Structure 1
């Protein structure tokens, strides 16, 4: 059974969640498309080729651009390579890009689509849990620079998203677990039933093909669709989707992206919860629930204690920062997100002490 969740942005589009969805690609492209460029990492070369052959059979010109895996794809050099392919194949404003892969691939595909001829259509086909519930939905695109993560980008909504749950069956376990951090985030900021589902059946939450995981994906996409439909360009409400990300992105940057995004966000949520508690915003029970839910899934909740100066410097480059004032998404309770602006430096350091250990809890993630 295919679930359809509608997002209203600069245009309306659907996120389809189900199995065997590649046949839905052509209808999403639209009848005026003549050329399609599929961006995909080498690991998905077979899938990309099958997709290309289907498009060719439908009378379209279809090309594949193989891009690096993970965060190595999100560079100006890779984007320039993709622009070169588009130019050499004479792509026009009525043509399209397909992003096939994880969150880094869909971020790159969206950015390339947003910048080619000032914007052509993009269809996202996420193949990881992280991409399905977060990166592929909502129209945020971006690449990294030497100074930080996602500092260059644009808002450019897809024309559709195909979240084929069957692709999760071959996803490495660490990647699946890391993706669950974004699911937990949606539970804490908006949908407490997500947390209850995980607490009642953590094994089901980590099992591809399970009814529990399918419901978690649907609920998480519904949370993001609702928020994005109200605030596409992150003027206000959409910032809540960054819960745990200020500290999490700082970990990623400090670790030179050797940590998976979800693992870093997991620690980032605990940091944000501790910061809110120290600021008198959040109860100890909700902080403890953060640790309990994340640890049930096998996600890290601590980080090494010798990185504070680097982390603080990275957080000052966060997109939510205004001038010299750090801003954090925090909670007043489950499903009650708010902002904490310009917290006292002693609070920042004290919250770090609550997550700091001699060694990071899970470098594998």
Structure 2
């Protein structure tokens, strides 16, 4: 297994990446000498991967497997309270380890529970999606949603380790593989432009990647985040750049009520952010077009999802979790924008720009309701 040791200010933890390395994952977990292990997975991953982890760990020490419903609906305070209650009944203690087996939803859910129980116990990620392995586990942020917006209730809690078996990703549908690639593309556009040639030559709409290709993409995603987070572990300063595309993307994701993968929604959000940047005279036309090329090579349909209205997206934008970083009027939206590839707009220590909501709405309407498609077809993009 390949070992990356990631440093975020004074915090450090290892990420192990391998292929068909289940035995090594079990050994790494057992080396933690936990008083008990508490695995959290959704129903799909519970059947595919978490079950065998449970069987092998429970042969040596008390182990529980807690299964939640698939999707964003499980990422709630109600689920946190329910699982925490059940774990206390099962005699979880300060020497226990919570193991998140799954994607970003399960990782955030497990992370918040680990942070809250006994004011913090050990957390290990075993990601089973590309978006988790290459992006979301590389964060100390743990959060759940409110009906008003994503990630509004949370805290910071460092994982003890991240254990990645790329073979787990082989059970993902192509849509989920593409979802993860959008976050890797985001990292390249914002802070790691050296990875753009890799993406331009390597992206596949069918998302059918070799082990070597997956390894290169995962490492690219992790190391890109490390570049900025090494000086901003709480992602409140320079690392806010990783919210690129998330302002509109989160709103689309919530409006779609679970029908759209997170990465796809963020991809649409980046299309809008690039258009806003362009209309403000910040981003060149060639850089804006690069956004479209990369996302289309990753299979993105550049349209609002069926059933999602511009009005619904605009209403949800007002509850974005970045509000309060800068003083905004009710008719303004705080956004991450780019002055160029790898060049975030705004102050170095807080790359946020206030944008008139009317401009954001116009860009959503023009980019995601079909109007822009004709212009790009005419130019052969």
TM-score with structure 2 length normalisation? 0.88
Distance 1:122 1:25, change over 3 A: farther
Does the aligned pair in 1 maintain the 2:166–2:211 contact within 8 Å?
Answer: no
| 1:192-271 → structure 2 map (5 Å cutoff) | 192-203=193-204, 206-271=207-272
| 1:30-179 → structure 2 map (5 Å cutoff) | 31-46=32-47, 47-57=49-59, 59-179=60-180
| 1:17-28 → structure 2 map (5 Å cutoff) | 17-22=17-22, 23-27=24-28
Offset of 1:97 from its aligned partner? 0.1
Does the aligned pair in 1 maintain the 2:40–2:110 contact within 8 Å?
Answer: yes
Per-residue CA shift, 1:232-266, capped at 9, x if unaligned? 21220121111100000010111222211111001
Distance 1:129 1:94, change over 3 A: same
1:336 pairs with 2:343? yes
Offset of 1:62 from its aligned partner? 0.9
2: CA distance, partners of 1:103 / 1:274: 28
Offset of 1:119 from its aligned partner? 1.1
1:188 aligns with: 189
1:316 pairs with 2:323? no
Offset of 1:21 from its aligned partner? 3.5
Offset of 1:330 from its aligned partner? 1.0
1: CA distance, partners of 2:335 / 2:201: 30
1: CA distance, partners of 2:179 / 2:301: 9
Which one of the candidate residues 339, 342, 348 is aligned to 2:360? 348
Does the aligned pair in 2 maintain the 1:206–1:213 contact within 8 Å?
Answer: no
Offset of 1:10 from its aligned partner? 5.2
Offset of 1:99 from its aligned partner? 0.2
The more displaced of 251-260 and 191-200 is: 191-200
1: CA distance, partners of 2:75 / 2:300: 25
| 1:282-293 → structure 2 map (5 Å cutoff) | 282-293=283-294
2:303 aligns with: 302
Offset of 1:205 from its aligned partner? 8.8
SS in 1 for 2:336: strand
1: CA distance, partners of 2:287 / 2:2: 34
Does the aligned pair in 2 maintain the 1:2–1:19 contact within 8 Å?
Answer: no
1:16 aligns with: 16
Does the aligned pair in 1 maintain the 2:205–2:299 contact within 8 Å?
Answer: no
* Count of equivalent residues: 360
2: CA distance, partners of 1:164 / 1:223: 20
Per-residue CA shift, 1:301-352, capped at 9, x if unaligned? 3326983332222112111112545211111111112334222334223322
Per-residue CA shift, 1:266-312, capped at 9, x if unaligned? 11001000111111111011000000110011013332698333222
Per-residue CA shift, 1:45-83, capped at 9, x if unaligned? 3432321232233x3221111111121221222212210
Does the aligned pair in 2 maintain the 1:252–1:260 contact within 8 Å?
Answer: yes
2:6 aligns with: 6
Distance 1:10 1:109, change over 3 A: farther
TM-score with structure 1 length normalisation? 0.91
Gaps of 5+ in 2: 346-350, 374-381
2: CA distance, partners of 1:29 / 1:222: 27
2: CA distance, partners of 1:304 / 1:38: 33
1: CA distance, partners of 2:30 / 2:81: 24
Does the aligned pair in 1 maintain the 2:40–2:98 contact within 8 Å?
Answer: yes
Does the aligned pair in 1 maintain the 2:260–2:305 contact within 8 Å?
Answer: no
CA RMSD of aligned residues (A): 2.4
1:357 pairs with 2:369? yes
Gaps of 5+ in 1: none
SS in 2 for 1:303: coil
Does the aligned pair in 1 maintain the 2:3–2:14 contact within 8 Å?
Answer: no
Per-residue CA shift, 1:104-137, capped at 9, x if unaligned? 1111110111111111110001101111112222
